[in-house]
Amino acid sequence: MSKVRKGDRVQVVSGDDRGRIGRVLAVVPEKNRIIVENVNMITKHQRATQSLREPGIIKREGTIHVSNVLPICPECDEATRVGHAEVEGRKMRRCKRCGETFE
């Protein structure tokens, strides 16, 4: 089970976007990489095509390694390392700061 899941709020802890907070848009589990909104923006030059008349510059998020982020605990609102916990048969994550469990 990954420490970071799609839809999580995470904080970037290394690299150019260090300190930035965003939501996880996608997870690539086999590569341990994720896409976080507004993090690692890469610029693509787009040519005009039949479906896209206006050529121009498109910005989109590139993947970053999962080790570059920490999830933000929904209870204490801090970026934290998480452990695993099982609560009533459900696999939860436990915040190492405040001890609360969350999904």
Residues forming contacts to Zn ion in the complex (CB under 5 A) are: 73, 75-76, 95, 97-98
Q: Which is nearer to Zn ion, 33 or 92 (CB)?
A: 92
CB of 83 to Zn ion, least distance (A): 11
CB of 100 to Zn ion, least distance (A): 5
Q: Using alpha carbons, list the distances in angstroms from residue 99 to 13, 38, 69, 74, 92.
A: 21, 29, 19, 11, 12
**Segments in the chain forming alpha helices (H):** none
Q: Which is nearer to Zn ion, 24 or 35 (CB)?
A: 24
